[in-house]
Each structure stands twice: as structure tokens, then as C-alpha cells.
Homo-oligomer: A and B are copies of this chain.
Amino acid sequence: MQRACSTELNCPAARSLESVGDSWSMLILRDAFQGLTRFDAFQKSLGVAPNILTRRLKHLTTEGLFERRLYCERPPRYEYVLTQKGRDFFPVMMALFAWGSQYLPPEEIAMRLGNPETGEDREPLLIDRVTGRAFSPEETVIKPGPAADEVVYERIAHMRAWFLGFDA
């Protein structure tokens, strides 16, 4: 993608996308959350070309989402296990899953999220940890952080829409 501008702003969302901002990476993570750890397993599950998979796994490893672990010395065999950083990506995955489910006709939904004990549907909801209230755009503003520079301040300055909701 060869970005520059977005990165310089140090926007956390843009930064995230540098780690996981292509669909294969996301799908690899999806499968990792389902317990897959091995090259072949990912390859078979995703139908991705091995060279691409190699590249992605390498990238996700250098970005700290996976740990490449030797699980067999002779012959040398490696597996890819999620690190804490990788596991912490879970909410993003679930939010994406939920959004997809929301806008897929019910008869096309092949998977849903359930409670492991009762089997009941689970529906993810994003709230504010402090207030416990829904994390709505109306109640959320972007504020400058420690690394904010002029560009960021200017950017934040004209974000009225965020305050006013979206019924423009």
C-alpha cells in the first residue's frame, strides 16, 4: 500500500491496519482464534497460496501477533501461536463478525456465536468500560494524545460531525 501520510499522524487505527490491514491476515487470525496453529492447516482452511501465507505469517510474527514456535526438532517443524497481542485482537474480530452477521440474510449465515454452556446466541456489544454505556459515535470524541502535532490538532478541530451525530 505504501502509505506515509496516515502513519505520520500516529492514528492508532491506521497503525493497526499496518499490522492486519489485508484480508488474508484477518482470515488467518480468524482461524487462529479457532485453534489453528500450523502452516498446512491455515493453507488448507484458507486456500491461500503458500508463498502468500509465508509472507503473512512472517509479517504477523514480526508485528508481534504470532510467536513462531519449534514444536518438532527433527525434522524442524514450526507452529504459529497467538501472543497476548494477537489474542487481544479478539474483540475486533468479534465486532467484525457481528457486523457481518447483522447484514447477512439469515439464510446465508453459516456460523453464529454461542454460549459454550447453554448454546444460546451471544451478541457482542461495545460499551465504555468506565460508564458502562453503549459506545456510540454521539458520545465519543477524538482528543489529541501525547504525540499530537499541529496536523492532528487541525484535524480534530473540524470534526463537528462526530459531536452532532450523523443525521446531517
**Docked-complex contact A17 and B12, CB < 8 angstroms:** no
Interface CB pairs A-B, < 8 A, 27:
A1-B24, A3-B23, A6-B46, A10-B110, A11-B30, A11-B100, A12-B97, A13-B27, A13-B97, A13-B100, A34-B142, A88-B99, A92-B95, A94-B95, A94-B135, A95-B95, A106-B145, A106-B146, A111-B142, A113-B141, A114-B141, A116-B140, A120-B130, A121-B130, A123-B129, A125-B127, A127-B127
Count the copies.
2
CA of A33 to CA of B160 in the docked complex: distance in angstroms? 10
Interface size on A, residues (CB 8 A): 101
Instruction: List residues of A whose CB falls within 8 A of some B CB.
Output: 1, 3-6, 9-18, 21-24, 26-27, 30, 33-35, 37, 45-47, 64, 81-82, 85, 87-104, 106-116, 119-131, 135-149, 152, 155-156, 158-163, 166, 168
CA of A109 to CA of B14 in the docked complex: distance in angstroms? 11
**Docked-complex contact A110 and B144, CB < 8 angstroms:** yes
**Docked-complex contact A15 and B102, CB < 8 angstroms:** no
**Docked-complex contact B122 and A130, CB < 8 angstroms:** yes
Nearest residue (CB) in B for A69 is B168
Which residues of B sit under 8 angstroms from A112, Cβ to Cβ? Answer: 142-145
**Docked-complex contact A26 and B35, CB < 8 angstroms:** no
CA of A101 to CA of B128 in the docked complex: distance in angstroms? 15
Which residues of B sit under 8 angstroms from A14, Cβ to Cβ? Answer: 27, 30, 100
Which residues of B sit under 8 angstroms from A147, Cβ to Cβ? Answer: 107-110
A20 CB → nearest B CB, Å:
8
**Docked-complex contact A17 and B13, CB < 8 angstroms:** no
Which residues of B sit under 8 angstroms from A99, Cβ to Cβ? Answer: 12, 16, 88-89, 91-92
